[in-house]
Structure 1
Amino acid sequence: MPLSTVPYAIVVEDHPIIMMETTHILEDAGFRVYESFDGDEAIAHLSQHWESTVLLFSDVDMPGSLNGFALAWHVAEHWPLIEIVIASGHISPEKGDMPEKATFITKPFNHRMVHQHLNQILPDDKKPEPLKKAV
């Protein structure tokens, strides 16, 4: 896959170790990753780079004016072509917490769990080549 067609994922996570691990998992899946430590920073990035971004992977509980659920709603409303995965080890979504198109994954997660989840939810045209071969 030519570098220009490698899709971006944005990871929103305020814990540095979890950010590093999530970034590594998504890079192994073939994404180029932009890291953001809160929802406000993620929205600022997406407002300029939404066209190359195919995935938002966000924690629920984080600093800033938006938690992961509010960020998911904002992204679904403003950039509906971006796929959304929300993760938490402390909070489970209730009905109405997330947009219908968003999916949830429980922490702790590992490479295999994330890759399987992404293979299930991402349309083929949004999957990087390594992810297509991962399962």
Structure 2
Amino acid sequence: MPNSLLLVEDDGLIRMDLADTLLDIGYEVVEAANADEALIAFGKKQFATLLTDIDMPGTMNGIALAHHVAAKSNECKIVIISGRYHPVQGSLPQGAQFLMKPISQKSLLEALDVAGLKP
């Protein structure tokens, strides 16, 4: 679990690009296309970090997913990404980080480093 990351992104190309980047660096990555798939993955495995988009189809958006995960696991770090929305102050779970798309590899690595996740 020390370097396990759940990547939740509905855009397949963005998800693939992020997953490839993270895998190349040495992270263990599990992919989900929406919050519903992510919840199934969380039921099967513990993750060190959740990296989720905000806007996606399904029963909940990324912010709701982040709050759900934060309520279930104190240990899972959360990084939220979006190309459309900038969350208002206080809307993210305690300790969660936000990155605006497009995400550079440098900013992604810095966010994961702050979250305490190392490859």
Short-chain TM bin = over 0.9
Q: Is 1:55 matched up with 2:49?
A: yes
Q: Say if 1:25 and 1:114, in contact at 8 Å, map to a contact too.
A: no
1:37-96 CA distance string (max 9 Å, x none): 00011011111101xx11100000001011010000000000120110000010001123
Runs of 4+ in structure 1 deviating by more than 2 angstroms, as ranges, are none
Query: How many Å separate the matches in 2 of 1:65 and 1:96?
Result: 22
> TM-score, normalised on structure 2?
0.93
User: Cα deviation per residue 1:83-115 (whole Å; 9 max; x = unaligned)?
Assistant: 100000100011232101110001001212211
Identity among equivalent positions (%) equals 35
Distance in 2 between the 1:71 and 1:64 partners?
A: 11
Alignment partner of 1:122 out of 110, 115, 118: 115
Match of 2:33 among 27, 33, 37: 37
**Greater Rg over alpha carbons, structure:** 1
Q: Structure 1 residue aligned with 2:95, among 92, 101, 106?
A: 101
Aligned 8 A contact 1:9 1:31 in 2: yes
Secondary structure at the residue paired with 1:90? coil
User: Structure 2: which amino acid aligns with 1:19?
Assistant: R
Residues 2 and 118 in structure 2, CA contact (< 8 A), matched pair in contact too: no
SS in 1 for 2:58: coil
Q: Is the 8 A contact 2:78 2:115 kept in 1?
A: no
Per-residue deviation, 1:116 = 2.0
- Unaligned runs of at least 5 residues, structure 2: none
| TM-score where L is the length of structure 1 | 0.82
For residue 6 of structure 1, report the CA deviation from its aligned partner.
6.0
Amino acid of the structure 2 residue aligned with 1:25: T
Q: Cα 1:28–1:6, aligned 2, differ >3 Å: closer, same or farther?
A: farther
Alignment correspondent of 2:5: 9
Higher helix share: 1
Query: Which whole-Å CA distance do the structure 2 matches of 1:78 and 1:118 have between them?
Result: 20
